[in-house]
Every structure is written in structure tokens, then in C-alpha cells.
């Protein structure tokens, strides 16, 4: 569809798009009333699907099972976790508290050997700063991993609905012959299926599934879609949505370490919070996390999977020979390594000093990342230099890793955001690929790729994230 659209055509599509979103659940609570569903609005989304190289889309999807297995083995390797995170633990209190919980349950003995992982691997196309002048130039692009998320990997449901909307808009615009370029998204059904499978493995048909949620959650409908997906697969599952505080006050462990919440045995705990220090406001919140980890409930993620998602782990995996420690299949190793961007340690040694000097000389070539999830935590451009200058001669710098900056291909599209004008913008996209793995330390029960998420932002914004308000929901048009 040629852009920009004519004004009358644009306004007609925009009006229809907003109403479609509200009637089909592409919704969020409002900033003014974030704890109430009495007033909602549509989540930010793209009017049209955005172009994404077909070859790279399939590459990202195909490597997900390899990454699932890699991080599963990382999570179960105590020596690797300890040696990799020891410097971060010294200087980052949040990682230190997570590590203390991990060490406690490990010494007491892991009560639940089964892990449920719902991962999301985030990628960007990489033009390496080149300008694409012909359609054939798309074949010169690569795809690079931005980060691997092991906790609270959200927006699968809303992304599924946006993909359905884009199929609808193509039909209304007479582009039905192009719909085959819009890949189907099975995120909700596949992820919900993995959660039900874990619940069944727990072995108690009376057990409940706990969604551990934030007290304030604007993105509640993405979580609800997943809950409805669980009921469609198995209507006997009962889901409870509770906060850390509610679990602290209303739960206890039995002598055999079953987690009892409001009189119900808990079979699966699904974390939709707990990924940020801001989620642990009181000591009681940390006590609750430890109580859950001590239990026989299947956790998504458990504490060692949570630690495996640290940025420092991602950086260490980029070193020669490290992936090979966990993956013996040489072709799988090649698939994984083909997506790696340059990542650099900031330890207080010669290697770290060289990385600091490199970033100080040209800060616009790198991103500085702390051990945090949830968006809005990274440093770009001149801020890289400012932070490094501040931590240059202190151990604090070991709490960060340095990553080469990726340059995705820009394009034109329209963002629909509540109370904002709709106009053509230069946009950049980030592709997330979901995966589910269920297994023990030595046995894989399920390992699959489960749908995708495309988040798109205007080219003048560094950070991304739908829940944080900087990105919008999108779906790929394969080119």
C-alpha cells in the first residue's frame, strides 16, 4: 500500500482501526485509572503491518528452540552461574538478593525439579549503517539478538490480536492476495498450552495456577487473554491473580513444601512481576519470593532461570567456546552465534579497560546495559560516556555490560496512540520470538517456538516497550 495515504482514506481507516481494536481486545487500562477496568482505551498499535525481511523472520523463529535449550542448560549449571555473576553480585544489590534466594533453595534441596520456561528472544535487523537503495539490498541484511527474556515475557496476546487486525485491514483495502505475507501468530494458544501441560505434570487436578501480578497493571488484558486461552484448553484449571503482598499474607508452606494459597494448593506460579527491584518494595516481598521458590509448585521462571536471563550471562555466552559448553550440535551453535552482536565485559581488568576506552571514544556506537528488565534502563549516545566517566574507577561499572549498537532498517508507517495525531512517521521495529520449554536438569519434555511479537517505535526513540509507552504493537509484512 503506497504511503502516505490520502487524508480521507487515512481518516476512514483510522476510525475503523480504533473501533476494531476496542471490540477485539487490543486494550490497556488508562494512565489516569491504571487499577480500574471501568475506563480503558486501545493499546498503541500500527495502522498497517510493517515490512520485515522474510528470510530473517524465519531465521529468528528457527533458532528459538536452540536458544531455549541453551538457556535451560545455563540455568542448571551452578558453576557457570556463579563464576559469571560473581562480580555483578558484589555491586548490584538486586542480583545479590536473587542469588541469596538461589543459594538458599539449592542448599536446602530443590523441591520441584520441573522447570517451565516462557522465553522471548528479541532481535533487530542490522543494516550496519548502510543505506538500502534497491529491493535486492534486503538480502545484505543480518539479524542480531538484542536480549533473551526469561521472566514476564509479555504482549504475546495483544500481538496476536494485532496480527488478526492487519489481516482484516488488508481485506478491507482489497489486498487479500497479500495476506499470505502476514505470518500466522499462535502465541496465545501455544503459551497457554505450555502452561496447561506444566499444570498437568504437577499431578493434582485440584491445584490452582497462580498469576503473580503487579498491584498496578495497565497491561492486564494481555494477561487475561492468556488466562482465557488456558480455560479454552482445559476448563478445569483455576487461575488466581494475586500480588506479592496478597501471597505473603494468605499463603503458607506445608511440612512437605506444598504452597497453600487461600486454602488451595498451588501447582504452577507464573511471574508477571518480580523482574525489577521496584517489585520488591518490602522485606515481605523478598520473603514471599523465597517461600514460592521453596515450594513444590512449578515456577515460571524459577530462581535459577531468572538469574540465567541476566545481561551478564548474555555477554559471557558471546565468548569463544562458551556456547559449545552447553550445545554440542555444531549446526545449532552456528545458528545461535549467527545472531550474536558484539558484547563486552566491563570488569576491572585489561579487557574491561579496553571496552571502556572503546566506548568513551565513540559512545554512539554502543549501548550500556545494567542487569535490569522491563525497558527504560539502558544508556545511549552521550549518556554512555557520562555513566562510564562516573563509574570508571569503581566496582560499580561491573554491574553493566557494553553492547554494540544495532542499526535496523527504517520505514514509514502510522502509529495509533490515544489522544495523539495520526501521521506518517519514520519507524524502527524489534522482533520478539516466544518459546516454551518444559523439562528437568537432564530431560526435555517440551521445547517449541510459540509465536512472535513485533514492536515498533519512531526512529527518534532509543528505548522500546509497549508497557512503558515507547513502542507500539505491530505485525510483520514479510518482504
Q: For 307-329, how does the pLDDT look when each residue is reduced to its tens digit (9 = 90+)?
A: 999 999 999 999 999 999 999 99
Answer yes or no: is 465 a known binding residue: no
Helices 54-62 and 64-75: crossing angle, nearest 10°?
Answer: 30
**In the chain, what are the domain boundaries?**
50-121+152-338+426-478
- Candidate from 298-302, 309-313, 457-461 with smallest mean pLDDT: 457-461
Answer yes or no: is 223 a known binding residue: yes
pLDDT at 462: 72
User: Which residues does residue 344 pair with via DSSP β-bridges, in sequence order?
Assistant: 402
Is the per-residue pLDDT at 288 higher than 60?
A: yes
Answer yes or no: is 382 a known binding residue: no
The backbone torsions φ and ψ at residue 260, rounded to the nearest 5 degrees and listed phi first, read -110, 120
- The residue that leads in pLDDT, 439 or 471, is 439
Q: How confident is the model at residue 467 (pLDDT cuts 50, 70, 90)?
A: low
| List of residues 6+ apart from 248 with CB closer than 8 A | 284, 285, 287, 288, 291
Answer yes or no: is 263 a known binding residue: no
Is the per-residue pLDDT at 296 higher than 70?
A: yes
CB 76 within 8 A of CB 55: no
Give pLDDT tens digits for 184-205: 999 999 999 999 999 999 999 9
Average pLDDT over residues 30-44: 94
Q: Output the CA–CA distances (angstroms, integers) from residue 22 to 25, 38, 44, 216, 221, in the order listed.
A: 6, 13, 11, 21, 12
Q: Output the CA–CA distances (angstroms, integers) from residue 408 to 132, 139, 274, 354, 433, in the order listed.
A: 11, 14, 30, 27, 17
Cell reading at 97: 538478593
d(CA 137, CA 243): 49
Is the per-residue pLDDT at 358 higher than 60?
A: yes
Hey, is 115 helix, strand or coil? Answer: strand
Answer yes or no: is 404 a known binding residue: yes
Answer yes or no: is 372 a known binding residue: yes
Q: Highest-confidence range of 133-147, 283-297, 415-429, by mean pLDDT? A: 283-297
Average pLDDT over residues 55-83: 98
CB 144 within 8 A of CB 60: no
Is the per-residue pLDDT at 207 higher than 90?
A: yes
Of 50, 118, 39, 166, the closest CA to residue 426 belongs to: 50
Q: What is the DSSP letter of 272?
A: S
Per DSSP, helices labelled H in 297-381 are 303-308, 311-317, 322-326, 330-337, 350-361
Work out the percent of the chain whose per-residue pLDDT is above 70.
96
Answer yes or no: is 109 a known binding residue: no
Answer yes or no: is 218 a known binding residue: no
Answer yes or no: is 412 a known binding residue: no
Burial 287-299 (b: 16+ CB within 10 A, else e): ebbbbbbbbbbbb
Answer yes or no: is 397 a known binding residue: no
d(CA 458, CA 462): 9
Average pLDDT over residues 103-108: 98
pLDDT at 391: 94
d(CA 453, CA 46): 13
Q: Given the DSSP bridges, would you call strands 238-242 and 208-212 parallel, antiparallel or unpaired?
A: parallel
Answer yes or no: is 378 a known binding residue: yes
CA angle, 464 as apex, 458 and 469 as ends, to 5°? 85
Give pLDDT tens digits for 409-430: 999 999 999 989 999 999 999 9
CB 465 within 8 A of CB 432: no
Average pLDDT over residues 209-238: 96
d(CA 211, CA 470): 25
Answer yes or no: is 154 a known binding residue: no
- Does domain 50-121+152-338+426-478 fall under CATH 3.40.50.1760? My reply is yes
Answer yes or no: is 321 a known binding residue: no
Q: Output the CA–CA distances (angstroms, integers) from residue 411 to 1, 17, 48, 408, 424, in the order listed.
A: 13, 21, 12, 10, 10
Average pLDDT over residues 30-47: 95
Work out the percent of the chain whose per-residue pLDDT is above 90.
90
d(CA 177, CA 167): 11
Rounded to two decimals, the pTM is 0.95
Is the per-residue pLDDT at 468 higher than 60?
A: no
Answer yes or no: is 376 a known binding residue: yes
Hey, is 291 helix, strand or coil? Answer: helix
Amino acid at each position: 500500500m503506497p504511503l502516505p495515504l490520502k487524508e480521507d482514506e487515512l481518516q476512514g481507516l483510522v476510525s475503523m482501526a480504533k473501533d476494531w481494536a476496542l471490540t477485539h481486545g487490543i486494550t490497556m487500562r488508562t494512565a489516569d485509572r491504571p487499577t480500574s477496568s471501568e475506563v480503558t482505551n486501545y493499546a498503541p498499535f500500527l495502522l498497517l503491518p510493517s515490512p520485515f525481511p522474510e528470510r530473517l523472520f524465519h531465521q529468528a523463529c528457527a533458532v528459538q528452540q536452540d536458544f531455549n535449550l541453551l538457556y535451560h542448560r545455563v540455568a542448571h549449571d551452578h558453576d557457570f552461574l556463579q563464576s559469571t555473576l560473581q562480580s555483578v553480585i558484589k555491586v548490584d544489590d538486586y542480583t545479590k538478593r536473587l542469588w541469596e534466594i538461589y543459594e538458599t533453595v539449592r542448599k536446602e534441596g530443590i523441591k520441584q525439579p520441573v522447570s517451565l520456561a516462557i522465553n522471548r528472544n528479541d532481535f533487530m535487523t542490522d543494516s550496519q549503517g548502510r543505506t538500502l537503495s534497491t529491493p535486492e539490498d534486503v538480502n545484505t541484511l543480518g539479524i542480531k539478538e538484542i536480549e533473551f527474556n526469561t521472566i514476564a515475557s509479555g504482549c504475546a496476546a495483544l500481538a496476536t490480536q494485532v496480527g488478526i487486525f492487519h489481516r482484516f485491514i488488508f481485506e478491507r483495502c482489497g489486498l487479500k492476495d497479500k495476506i499470505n505475507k502476514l505470518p500466522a501468530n499462535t502465541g496465545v494458544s501455544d503459551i497457554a498450552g505450555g502452561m496447561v501441560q506444566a499444570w498437568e505434570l504437577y499431578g493434582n487436578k485440584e491445584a490452582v495456577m497462580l498469576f503473580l501480578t503487579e498491584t498496578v497493571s495497565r497491561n492486564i488484558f494481555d494477561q487475561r487473554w492468556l488466562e482465557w486461552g488456558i480455560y479454552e484448553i482445559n476448563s478445569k484449571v483455576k487461575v488466581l491473580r494475586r500480588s506479592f503482598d496478597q501471597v505473603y499474607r494468605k499463603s503458607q508452606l506445608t511440612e512437605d513444601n506444598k504452597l497453600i494459597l487461600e486454602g488451595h494448593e498451588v501447582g504452577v506460579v507464573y511471574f508477571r512481576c518480580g523482574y525489577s527491584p521496584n517489585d520488591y518494595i518490602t522485606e515481605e516481598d523478598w520473603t514471599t519470593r523465597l517461600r514460592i521458590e521453596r515450594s513444590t509448585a512449578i515456577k515460571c521462571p524459577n530462581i535459577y532461570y531468572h538469574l540465567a536471563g541476566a545481561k551478564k550471562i548474555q555477554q559471557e555466552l558471546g565468548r569463544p567456546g562458551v556456547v559449545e559448553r552447553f550445545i554440542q550440535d555444531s549446526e545449532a551453535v552456528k545458528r545461535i552465534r549467527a545472531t550474536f552482536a558484539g558484547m563486552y565485559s566491563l570488569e576491572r581488568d585489561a579487557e574491561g579497560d579496553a571496552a571502556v576506552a572503546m566506548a568513551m571514544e565513540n559512545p554512539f556506537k554502543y549501548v550500556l546495559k545494567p542487569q535490569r528488565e522491563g525497558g527504560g534502563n539502558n544508556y545511549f549516545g552521550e549518556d554512555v560516556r557520562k555513566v562510564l566517566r562516573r563509574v570508571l574507577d569503581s566496582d560499580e561499572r561491573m554491574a553493566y555490560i557494553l553492547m554494540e549498537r544495532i542499526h535496523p532498517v527504517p520505514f514509514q508507517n502510522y502509529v495509533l496512540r490515544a489522544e495523539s495525531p495520526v501521521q506518517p512517521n519514520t519507524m524502527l521495529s524489534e522482533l520478539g520470538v516466544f518459546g516454551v520449554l518444559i523439562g528437568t536438569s537432564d530431560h526435555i519434555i517440551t521445547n517449541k517456538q510459540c509465536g512472535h511479537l513485533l514492536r515498533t517505535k519512531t526512529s527518534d526513540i532509543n528505548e522500546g516497550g509497549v508497557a512503558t509507552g515507547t513502542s507500539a504493537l505491530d505485525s510483520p509484512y514479510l518482504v
